[in-house]
A and B are shown apart, each in its own frame.
Chain A
Amino acid sequence: MNEILKVEKLEKYYGGKSNLTKALNDVSFHAEKGEFVAIMGASGSGKTTLLNCIATIDKVTAGHILVDGLDITKLKGNNLNKFRREELGFIFQDFNLLDTLTAYENIALALSIQNVNVFEIEEKIKKVAHQLGIEDVLQKYPYQMSGGQKQRVASARAIITNPKLILADEPTGALDSKSSKMLLERFNYLNQELKATILMVTHDAFTASYASRVIFIKDGKVFNEIHRGDNTRSEFFDKIIDIVTLLGGDLNDAL
């Protein structure tokens, strides 16, 4: 048992005394090394806040987040930046690629800010480009690529540093269904072949069905949790839909 992420009694409040919003209210869960966890919930359920807290983009009000035993809620300033660039990989809904750089340079940037030398960078990019099937777009600029290609480039940037944890925020949100499928298959590949730990936030049941475990969040609390186990993906998809229905149609945009 190798616990890579442990979230303990996490609370995040917004606003002041008069209008307090509890975005996260006593959330606890953990993820093991090599797991592919999806977090599902409706808009406003607090799933993105949770991800932002784990990503150290947002500060928690109370509780602890341990990544590989290190309490990241205690980190400050440059240690925070260091943690972010060395231990985490990010994939965002809107790709967040730099529009002035080519795909190759975008991926390289993640390594060059860690002072990795140029030969190592080249070697790693070659490898990851092959794994994600983006060899032929490396010299292109973001505006010359399709959404799916952009997201795979962003994924390459996220995993190239060999992070302990990959965080994905609605990675398929801006993709058509074909590109989504392709991307998610790549995620599976990263997860199973490279043993990458992935934490993915989504409100889409299809996307979630690629994960090995799905955690449901409602009104800032963990509502339910299901494992894929030995189910096929489509069986798992049906199970997810059942829970979504149970949640009361809050997720009626799930399909």
Chain B
Amino acid sequence: MLFKLSLKNIKKSFKDYAIYFFTLILGVAIFYVFNAIESQTVLIDATSGTASIIELMTNMLSGVSVFVSFILGFLIIYASRFLIKRRKREFGIYLTLGMSKRRISMILFIETILIGLISLVIGLGIGIVLSQLMSILVANMFEADMTKFSFILSKSACIKCLIYFGIMYLLVMIFNTINIGKCKLIDLLHSSKKSEKVKLKNSLLCIVIFLISASVLGFAYYMVTGGIETMLDSADKIFIPIALGIVSTFFIFWSLSGLILRVASKRRKFYYKGLNSFTLRQISSKINTTVFSMSIICLMLFVTICILSSSLSIKNSMTANLEELVPVDVEFTKMIDIDTSNPAIIEDFDLSIIETLEKNNFDVQNKLKDIVSFDIHKTEKLTLKETLGKQVLAKYKFMHYDAPEIIIGLSDYNKVARLFGHKEYTLKRDEYMIIADYDGMIDARNLALKERPSIVLGEKRYQPKYDECKYGFLEISSTHINGGIIVVPDEALESIPVTDKALLANFSTNNKEEIKKINQELRDFADKTWKNSSFTTVTTKLDIAESSIGLGALVTFIGLYLGIIFLISSAAILALKELSESSDNKERFRMLRKIGTDEVLIRKALFRQIAIFFLFPLILAIVHSVFGIMFCNCILETFGNEQLLPSIIMTSIFIIIIYGGYFLITYFCSKNILRDA
């Protein structure tokens, strides 16, 4: 009997449940898709390097899943509370008929189980289909060929879904029982009759508050963009604009309703046209009563946009960077004269890199070509303190200014530049120049170079040839990390000790398999020889590519996961807020019909009301994001930011689909509810 009642209830109130269902299904599907990534990666024949990244990624994704399940759990409880609210009258009738609260809880219990089961089944179904698409994305991320496509069902992800969502539904049931237990019959029966008092804010105060929060927000924007240099002094300072942003967002929404009404009612021609006055009042009262959730939603959207666009662009930029920043296949470096008592290492100091390689049975002649070796010099007497000068250092407090500068002879540098395809330079006997590619340091160094500081090496003084850094690097890497290399004429280095030896080379083969083999050999070699040689690094293009691809994929997947969940949560909360007021709205729209308002006008008013309600937080979030992304770019500029546009387009597509989807469902649901009126 109770089961029948529950089933009928679900059927009857399907309209109300649409948003709830949609959210649950989406939640389950996304949860499955991201937890099933692990099994998708089976399709890729991963090298050991990639495999470890994949393992890291899987671990991180399951960690994030716990967080996500918390968000979804809150969302589901919130949604079910909304549904109970809508059905208070129904429960009131059950109670007056003599049904016990325990039995009502039982009805809800059965309903939750039914809804839970249906949404889990549908959600998993959609998730399994989507995850097949995901495998294409996974292959694309790891730049692997999708040669063998096969249908993959991840059992572990299914089980995980069942357990996590099972717990969530259990919590919902407990919550519902408590909620019903606390209800009083009189409130249940009269819940629909509470008339809302219009709490009006002083419109002048609203304008003042709005202007103040807008300017505070402007200041926060300035702090993270124009004034970013002072920002970077210490990590704590970043909290100031964030706090300012949060507070001003809240007060903007707080004052918005008053402001809109004030501005609109001044424009009488607009205000007293059709249902405009009604629509504006509806919106302002809605904003008025949902200031807190609007602010939260706006901030969540902001985080979503930033996460999505930054994470997508990091991946894109990293791939693009590889071409530019890793022009050769391998780089060896070796430190000289380090403090050690190991005789094997001391003996190794005098050997060149090629000699060390050959001594360890690596066939240099046949496996490497385009070999260029160079020496790096350092001296305690030339540090950042000398090259940057006190004024610049005072501005960039975070720099480690006792670090000795890296110095290289001109002929060595030109050899490297020729190999990399960079510009070669000439220097007069008393000139030096700086090569760099890390924007943060370039700014600092350029500032210093404006003063044309001279440096002293040995007994001689050298003048800068250019008043700015020139582009270039010596070390292959996935990101722009060259903070500055001093290039001086060869003879200047006679008295400066060599501290590192380095060698750049290409593999003599283009065959992928052979490259992999050499790569593996070099890895083993590095593992084997580190004890009795002074090798510090063996970096290969393949290693860099794998780790940067892996890192890119990691960031992208986690970004996507969190971004989508945040997006769903904020859209769902908005939708529920809108629908929960539909019973009040029902009365109002009934009145409008009674005085003879056209259906077209009514539909338009409803559409505008919901659209504006959805748009406000989004617009403010987009404005936030413009500055947020600019800030992210400054922070992440070592990753390069050339690839921002495609990721912004991708982000917009996600927002349009998910947020827009929720908007449409909300519109059609409330249209349905109001049609009955």
A interface residues (Cβ-Cβ under 8 A, vs B):
55, 57, 77-78, 81-86, 88, 90, 92, 96-101, 105, 108-113, 115, 117-118, 121-122, 141, 143, 157
Question: Closest CB of chain A to B593's CB: distance in Å?
Answer: 8
**Measured CA separation A109–B605 after assembly (Å):** 13
Q: Which residues of A contact B155 (CB under 8 A)?
A: none
Question: Closest CB of chain B to A161's CB: distance in Å?
Answer: 9
- Residue in chain A with minimal CB distance to B268: A118
Q: Which residues of B contact A122 (CB under 8 A)?
A: 268
Given contacts A96-B594, A110-B595, A115-B274, contact A101 B281 (CB under 8 A): yes
Question: Closest CB of chain A to B203's CB: distance in Å?
Answer: 13
**Measured CA separation A92–B595 after assembly (Å):** 11
Question: Closest CB of chain A to B190's CB: distance in Å?
Answer: 15
Residue from B197, B596, B597, B601 whose CB has the most chain A CB atoms within 10 Å: B596
22 interchain pairs (CB within 8 A)?
A: A55-B594, A81-B593, A81-B598, A82-B596, A90-B595, A98-B588, A99-B196, A101-B278, A101-B281, A105-B277, A112-B274, A112-B275, A112-B277, A113-B274, A113-B275, A113-B595, A113-B596, A113-B597, A113-B601, A118-B272, A141-B200, A143-B198
Q: Which residues of B contact A118 (CB under 8 A)?
A: 268-269, 271-273
B interface residues (Cβ-Cβ under 8 A, vs A):
195-198, 200, 268-269, 271-278, 281-282, 285, 588, 591-601
Question: Closest CB of chain A to B37's CB: distance in Å?
Answer: 49
**Measured CA separation A141–B196 after assembly (Å):** 11
Question: Closest CB of chain B to A211's CB: distance in Å?
Answer: 23
- Residue in chain B with minimal CB distance to A84: B596
8 additional A-B pairs beyond A101-B281, A118-B268, beta carbons within 8 Å, are A78-B600, A84-B594, A98-B278, A98-B591, A99-B195, A99-B196, A118-B272, A141-B198
Q: Which residues of A contact B198 (CB under 8 A)?
A: 99-100, 141, 143
Select which of B272, B275, B281, B596 is within 8 A of A88 by beta carbon: B596
Q: Which residues of B contact A111 (CB under 8 A)?
A: 272
The reply to whether B596 and A109 contact each other, CB–CB distance below 8 Å, is: no
Question: Closest CB of chain B to A30's CB: distance in Å?
Answer: 23
**Measured CA separation A213–B84 after assembly (Å):** 51
- Residue in chain A with minimal CB distance to B267: A118
Compute the total of residue contacts between A and B using a CB distance below 8 Å.
Answer: 87
Question: Closest CB of chain A to B674's CB: distance in Å?
Answer: 14
**Measured CA separation A117–B272 after assembly (Å):** 8
The reply to whether A143 and B595 contact each other, CB–CB distance below 8 Å, is: no
Given contacts A90-B594, A98-B591, contact A78 B275 (CB under 8 A): no
Q: Which residues of A contact B593 (CB under 8 A)?
A: 81
Residue from A113, A115, A122 whose CB has the most chain B CB atoms within 10 Å: A113
Q: Could you tell me the dominant secondary structure of chain A's interface residues?
A: helix
**Measured CA separation A94–B594 after assembly (Å):** 13
**Measured CA separation A88–B596 after assembly (Å):** 9
Question: Closest CB of chain A to B275's CB: distance in Å?
Answer: 7
The reply to whether B281 and A109 contact each other, CB–CB distance below 8 Å, is: no
**Measured CA separation A96–B591 after assembly (Å):** 6
The reply to whether A85 and B272 contact each other, CB–CB distance below 8 Å, is: no
**Measured CA separation A81–B596 after assembly (Å):** 4
The reply to whether B276 and A112 contact each other, CB–CB distance below 8 Å, is: yes
List 5 tightest A-B contacts by C-beta distance, closest first.
Answer: A85-B596, A84-B596, A100-B281, A118-B272, A118-B268
**Measured CA separation A88–B593 after assembly (Å):** 13
- Residue in chain B with minimal CB distance to A101: B281
The reply to whether B277 and A157 contact each other, CB–CB distance below 8 Å, is: no
**Measured CA separation A57–B593 after assembly (Å):** 9
**Measured CA separation A44–B642 after assembly (Å):** 77
Select which of A77, A83, A100, A113 is within 8 A of B588 by beta carbon: A100
The reply to whether B594 and A112 contact each other, CB–CB distance below 8 Å, is: no
**Measured CA separation A55–B269 after assembly (Å):** 30
Q: Which residues of B contact A121 (CB under 8 A)?
A: 272
Q: Which residues of B contact A115 (CB under 8 A)?
A: 273-274
Q: Which residues of A contact B596 (CB under 8 A)?
A: 81-86, 88, 113
**Measured CA separation A101–B276 after assembly (Å):** 11
The reply to whether B278 and A100 contact each other, CB–CB distance below 8 Å, is: yes
- Residue in chain B with minimal CB distance to A157: B595
Select which of B196, B269, B595 is within 8 A of A84 by beta carbon: B595
- Residue in chain B with minimal CB distance to A88: B596
Q: Which residues of B contact A117 (CB under 8 A)?
A: 269
The reply to whether A100 and B272 contact each other, CB–CB distance below 8 Å, is: no
Q: Which residues of B contact A97 (CB under 8 A)?
A: 591
Q: Which residues of A contact B592 (CB under 8 A)?
A: 98, 109
The reply to whether B599 and A78 contact each other, CB–CB distance below 8 Å, is: yes
Residue from A100, A117, A122 whose CB has the most chain B CB atoms within 10 Å: A100
Residue from B198, B200, B274 whose CB has the most chain A CB atoms within 10 Å: B198
The reply to whether A112 and B599 contact each other, CB–CB distance below 8 Å, is: no
Given contacts A100-B198, A141-B198, contact A105 B281 (CB under 8 A): yes
**Measured CA separation A115–B276 after assembly (Å):** 11
The reply to whether B594 and A100 contact each other, CB–CB distance below 8 Å, is: no
- Residue in chain A with minimal CB distance to B277: A105
**Measured CA separation A238–B371 after assembly (Å):** 122
- Residue in chain B with minimal CB distance to A113: B597
Q: Which residues of A contact B272 (CB under 8 A)?
A: 108, 111-112, 118, 121
**Measured CA separation A111–B268 after assembly (Å):** 14
**Measured CA separation A229–B368 after assembly (Å):** 121
**Measured CA separation A81–B595 after assembly (Å):** 8
Q: Which residues of B contact A105 (CB under 8 A)?
A: 277-278, 281
- Residue in chain A with minimal CB distance to B598: A81
- Residue in chain A with minimal CB distance to B284: A100
Question: Closest CB of chain B to A154's CB: distance in Å?
Answer: 10
Residue from A84, A98, A115, A117 whose CB has the most chain B CB atoms within 10 Å: A98
Q: Which residues of A contact B594 (CB under 8 A)?
A: 55, 57, 84, 90, 92, 96
Question: Closest CB of chain B to A14's CB: distance in Å?
Answer: 19
**Measured CA separation A96–B589 after assembly (Å):** 11
- Residue in chain B with minimal CB distance to A117: B269
Q: Which residues of B contact A157 (CB under 8 A)?
A: 595
The reply to whether A109 and B197 contact each other, CB–CB distance below 8 Å, is: no
**Measured CA separation A55–B275 after assembly (Å):** 22
Q: Which residues of B contact A100 (CB under 8 A)?
A: 198, 278, 281-282, 285, 588
